[in-house]
Amino acid sequence: MSTLEIRDLQVSVKLPEGELKPILNGVDLTVKAGETHAIMGPNGSGKSTLAYSIAGHPKYEITGGSVTLDGVDVLELSVDERARAGLFLAMQYPVEVPGVSVANFLRTAKTAIDGEAPKLRTWAGELRTAMEKLEMDPAFAQRNVNEGFSGGEKKRHEIMQLELLKPKVAILDETDSGLDIDALRIVSEGVNRVRATGETGFLLITHYTRILRYIKPDFVHVFVGGRIVEEGGPELGEQLEAQGYDKYKVRA
Ligand code: ADP
Ligand code: MG
Ligand code: MG
């Protein structure tokens, strides 16, 4: 069983003039395989910074604390090594990959993570099944990654990666933003399928409570001012839905 452990994580963003602006002020969080944690907080509270720091984005500097995956120091690993170690990040603003088809991208990613190419015959079937479950046109596999993708297609592509790559820990940053209600349902069902395997821990980052109606978190963490200010179960999500973040802002 895999465990991601974040201890007293402090992170600054690197500004163009070379200055450091502190964003995360000591984040503590443990995510085990099979658990789903929702991180909820207002805009600008540092949620994406947390996701990018764990994924290894060069714009962020770790100034203190630690992140380990099954005891391995994640912060010492390159971005590629983090993915191979079993970390998966679905970004709020995914990038286009011109000239690389979805099918090739997924196969390359799978090969990199497993250390060997997937068997051609079974792989084609896995890809097809993943696409069918997400109600996607098979022609989608031949399109270039994220090029001209609608919001819903980008998210479905992320969930396809999730289903095929089977990460130990998946961080989904605002996967619900820009989705219509059908796409939200399909994407949530995909997450719930992977969740049901019990082999992936989820960090579900969101501003709104909407997605939590479809993906019931085991734990909810309220994130304000670069740290967790309150923790609870699913009922905390419902409370936020009714009351918003105002009471935390006053305290922060
Ligand atoms: P969230 O995802 O919760 O909306 P972010 O992690 O995106 O929050 O941002 C947290 C804070 O860091 C914000 O105040 C934001 O303005 C600041 N920030 C992020 N990136 C930069 C940057 N490149 N330059 C200056 N400030 C930044
Ligand atoms: Mg934001
Ligand atoms: Mg964000």
Is the residue at 57 inside a domain? Answer: yes
Report if residue 47 sits inside a domain: yes
| pTM (predicted TM-score) | 0.91
Ligand 1 near 58 CB (within 6 A):
no
Domain assignment present for 156: no
Residue 38's CATH number: 3.40.50.300
How remote is the CA of residue 74 from the centroid of ligand 2, in Å? 24
Residue 134 located in a structural domain: no
3-state secondary structure the chain: CCEEEEEEEEEEEECCCCCEEEEEEEEEEEEECCCEEEEECCCCCCHHHHHHHHHCCCCEEEEEEEEEECCEEHHHCCHHHHHHHCEEEECCCCCCEEEEEHHHHHHHHHHHHHCCCCCHHHHHHHHHHHHHHCCCCHHHHHCEECCCCCHHHHHHHHHHHHHHHCCCEEEEECCCCCCCHHHHHHHHHHHHHHHHCCCCEEEEEECCCHHHHCCCCCEEEEEECCEEEEEECHHHHHHHHHHCCHHHHHHC
Residue 196 counted as domain residue: yes
Domain enclosing residue 76, as ranges = 3-96+166-251
In a domain, 154, yes or no: no
Q: Is residue 11 part of a domain?
A: yes
- Domain total of the chain: 1
* 124 inside domain: no
Q: Is the CB of 209 under 6 A from ligand 1?
A: no
Least confident of 67-76, 85-94, 110-119, 184-193: 85-94
pLDDT digits (tens, 9 = 90+) for 202-252: 999 998 888 898 999 999 999 999 999 999 999 999 899 888 898 887 555
Ligand that lies nearest to the alpha carbon of residue 49, given by its number in the listed order: 1
Q: Choose the residue to mutate in 12, 19, 23 for probing ligand 1, maximizing ligand atoms within 8 Å of C-beta.
A: 23
What number is the ipTM of this complex? 0.94
